[in-house]
Chain A
Amino acid sequence: MAEGDITLKVQRFDPTADKLPYWQSFTVKTRPGMTVLDALFEVLNHQDGTLSFRFCCRAGVCGSCAMIIGGKARLACETQVAQFLGKGDLMLSPLPHQPVVKDLAVDYEHFFDRLKRVKPYLVGKEPYPEKEYIQSTKERQPINEPIDCILCGSCTSSCTMAWTNSDYLGPAALLKSYRFVADTRDAVQDERLDIMESESGVWRCHTQFNCVEVCPKKLNPTEAIQKMKIKAFKRKLLGRRKAKK
């Protein structure tokens, strides 16, 4: 693996002190296996103690360190620096369209507020069974993928529909909703589809696939959204037919 120096060009912004964001460069000596998060710690520990960024598991599972790296939303902890060597400065900026707490750390409040609007919890069929719900591997299959979402926010931050309408639930919240819509144990499918059909629901998705492109877990929110469109559409059609009879 290549070694050498890399220059990180970091977007800096302290909303309590700065009028506008600005770029600052740091040169870091790389080593084999170094990740972008390692490089940021190198800066924090030995060059500039005022740098701010989010981090936690450093293993791609907690979703803390999503940021724009080299023009694309990625997790800093699982992005190897080596791939950027010899390609000029490596640009790092916070996830767009979320308020900046400081530098690369964003405020996820609005992101989680939208999640909360989709009833992000299972409402299990009652009465609860004495033991577990019986769910075959085939019945679980549709949720195998969406449950892997780590809520890093990369998708919603990369969705231009979510940029232009802050009410739009966005791919992360919609994928979460699909995770329950597709769960055979859930008892409130109609309520969920009502939310999906609402002004800020699935119909705002224009299938740009930005969310699919950036998802660090290789999930497919666009597909999940289309599946819910089909469900909502079928429900309407069926309702109309019943009413006619």
Chain B
Amino acid sequence: MYYHKILVIGGGLAGLRAAIESAPKVDTAIISQVHPVRSHSGAAQGGVNASLANNPAAKDDTWEKHAFDTVKGSDYLADQDAVEFMTKEAGPCIYEIEHWGCPFSRTDEGKIAQRPFGGAGYPRTCYAADKTGMYMLHTLWERSVKLNVPLYEDRVMVDLVLEGDSVRGVICLNMRTGELEQFMAEAVIIASGGSGQIYGRSTNSLISTGSAQSTCYRRGVPLKDIEFIQFHPTSLFGTNILMTEGARGEGGYLVNNLGERFMSKYAAKAMELAPRDIVSRSIQTEINEGRGINGQDFVHLDLRHLGREKILERLPGIRDLAINFVDVDPIEKPVPIQPGQHYTMGGIDTDIDGATKFKGLYAAGECGCVSVHGANRLGGNSLLDTVVFGKRSGRVAAEYVLSKKASKEGEGAMNKCLKESKERIDGLLSRKGTENHSDIRADMKETMIKKVGIFRNKSLMDEAVAEIKALKARYANMSVQNKGKGYNLDLIRAIELEGMLDVAEAIAVGALKREESRGAHSRLDFKERDDAKFLQHTIATYSPKGPVITYSPVKVTKYKPEARRY
């Protein structure tokens, strides 16, 4: 049995930042399915928000203005105390990463460069070309090397060990050996990322299955606001690879088959830089009404007028992607794009410390929900969320462990859980059903994008809930071909799918019960926001029969809900 005082599950930005904070004070190790530099954080492109006021056009920017933009962007579902904390801490957290080596692009004065982004009153998105996430990720991994943080890679967390109201550790499947391993701890920080792969047309990495998140959910840790799914306006047609919002921040246009910059109809003032929920709905409306290019499911992202030099300097990454994946050089031709699933605003229900209802169990980053993003996250706020709340959860977890008197409790619970995991996996391997789990996965993704997508209504979501139940029944009748031990992708993907189906169900049921339109949750049968009934967080608690939905209050400090216009 392995033992560390703090275990961080996930080596992306939130996990690394948490470990960097706690490791100097308390023995901390990172467990990850992939090496940290492979994490999905590295796919983030456009930048990270902080009111540094480095751009001449942002001289008057303040953290309060950043907070207001974030709250308005969230359609007032974000907890305002948490938003204030995040926006206040943004500057110090970005400077810190810069001091650790993050190679931000520079202004003429040699300061961190900042660009305009959607839903923001000022150019406050700090960027490093269009690979900001990758550079931040490498920088934090480098810092973790400096601090000698132990790393257990190629491990999939298959169970969370709880005893009474406390966490005791986790059970992992070692992908290389195929063996189950026990990791005991005083505190566990879940930083496993989002679950975007539940959806078709996702921009997310293939490992963004939310497996650690769903494992917690099945063990009784509630999910908050899980029905709020962000669709990014500009993902590459065909593969749904991300084309950064920075492309529009630098001045890119969205154009339909008539050659119109159609955003003038939907957000006359902000145009292409309206928040993501609004731009995605606008694009989808154009497509639905037959104004996609050649009547197909895409419109154009046109960057040609930015000129070669600006594209090569500021947007080299997406240029390479467009050339590699759709054979289009944005310098010469417009890029075919469509909205794609991008981010899960909801996640493991935590407070402002990242703490869950279980002692010693924390969550940070996309897998968690503080909530700072509410019903719609602003671009540039997810990287910020990872470093601000990764740091805070690391600090609070370390304080908790240092104040804890007893240690290494719960060996019995660890052993019981190991036995259950073993039975579960042996059970999966011995199934002789006829269903192929990759087909079930494909059908789930199709159901979610078609029926719990950008535009929602009761009849579609009723069908989705029924289809997910049917998929679960098919799952019970599937089998795993590969009975081997080493790097058994067949088994790992089967394990992941079980959890994905549970979270898919929570998303669909949460969305069905929320009879209003707010942020990214847009219902054709309830078109208005309903603050009287739904200015509340959805809390989904697992039960074998399906999610139990309750609600909890939203923290409002100084920004009273008002109509959201751009």
Contacts of A116 in B (CB 8 A): 145
* Alpha-carbon distance A130/B52, docked complex (angstroms): 12
Interface residues on A, range: 35 or more
Contacts of B106 in A (CB 8 A): 135-137, 140
* Alpha-carbon distance A94/B200, docked complex (angstroms): 30
One of B42, B101, B482 near A49 (C-beta < 8 A): B482
Residue with the greatest number of chain B CB neighbours at <10 A, chosen from A49, A107, A128, A143: A49
* Alpha-carbon distance A17/B486, docked complex (angstroms): 10
Tell me, yes or no, whether B40 is within 8 Å of chain A by CB.
Answer: yes
Q: Mark B17-43, 1 if CB is under 8 A from A, else 0.
A: 000000000000000001101111011
* Alpha-carbon distance A139/B238, docked complex (angstroms): 39
Q: Mark A58-78, 1 if CB is under 8 A from B, else 0.
A: 111111100000000000001
One of A59, A121, A122 near B321 (C-beta < 8 A): A59
Would you call A108 and B241 a contact (CB within 8 A)? no
Contacts of A132 in B (CB 8 A): 94-95, 98-99, 104, 111-112
- Distance to closest chain A CB from B85 (angstroms): 20
Interface residues on B, range: 35 or more
Residue of B nearest to A80 (CB): B324
- Distance to closest chain B CB from A34 (angstroms): 10
Tell me, yes or no, whether B480 is within 8 Å of chain A by CB.
Answer: yes
Would you call A60 and B101 a contact (CB within 8 A)? no
* Interface of A, helix, strand, loop or mixed by DSSP: loop
Tell me, yes or no, whether B239 is within 8 Å of chain A by CB.
Answer: yes
Contacts of B43 in A (CB 8 A): 57, 59, 61-62
Tell me, yes or no, whether A2 is within 8 Å of chain B by CB.
Answer: no
Tell me, yes or no, whether A230 is within 8 Å of chain B by CB.
Answer: no
- Distance to closest chain A CB from B156 (angstroms): 13
Residue with the greatest number of chain B CB neighbours at <10 A, chosen from A59, A102, A150: A59
Would you call B486 and A64 a contact (CB within 8 A)? no
Tell me, yes or no, whether B335 is within 8 Å of chain A by CB.
Answer: no
Tell me, yes or no, whether B463 is within 8 Å of chain A by CB.
Answer: no
Q: Mark B63-100, 1 if CB is under 8 A from A, else 0.
A: 00000000000000000000000000001001100111
Contacts of B108 in A (CB 8 A): 137
Tell me, yes or no, whether B503 is within 8 Å of chain A by CB.
Answer: no
Contacts of B326 in A (CB 8 A): 33
Would you call A122 and B436 a contact (CB within 8 A)? no
One of A120, A128, A134, A183 near B111 (C-beta < 8 A): A134
One of B94, B98, B143, B206 near A55 (C-beta < 8 A): B206
Residue of A nearest to B144 (CB): A121
Tell me, yes or no, whether A105 is within 8 Å of chain B by CB.
Answer: yes
Would you call B490 and A44 a contact (CB within 8 A)? yes
Q: Mark B312-328, 1 if CB is under 8 A from A, else 0.
A: 00000100110011100
Would you call A60 and B324 a contact (CB within 8 A)? yes
One of B101, B207, B321 near A56 (C-beta < 8 A): B207
Tell me, yes or no, whether A131 is within 8 Å of chain B by CB.
Answer: yes
One of B37, B100, B105 near A121 (C-beta < 8 A): B100
Tell me, yes or no, whether B228 is within 8 Å of chain A by CB.
Answer: no
Would you call B486 and A143 a contact (CB within 8 A)? no
- Distance to closest chain B CB from A174 (angstroms): 16
Would you call A134 and B110 a contact (CB within 8 A)? yes
* Alpha-carbon distance A183/B106, docked complex (angstroms): 13
- Distance to closest chain A CB from B179 (angstroms): 11
Residue of B nearest to A146 (CB): B103
Contacts of A21 in B (CB 8 A): none
Contacts of A133 in B (CB 8 A): 98-99
- Distance to closest chain A CB from B336 (angstroms): 12
Would you call B142 and A121 a contact (CB within 8 A)? yes
Residue of A nearest to B143 (CB): A121
- Distance to closest chain B CB from A8 (angstroms): 16
- Distance to closest chain B CB from A59 (angstroms): 5
Would you call B489 and A51 a contact (CB within 8 A)? yes
* Alpha-carbon distance A180/B43, docked complex (angstroms): 23
Contacts of A50 in B (CB 8 A): 481-482, 484, 488, 490
* Besides A59-B43, A129-B99, A131-B111, 13 new A-B residue pairs in contact (Cβ under 8 A), listed by A number: A14-B484, A16-B485, A49-B480, A54-B34, A56-B39, A56-B206, A78-B325, A105-B487, A108-B35, A132-B104, A135-B110, A147-B103, A147-B128
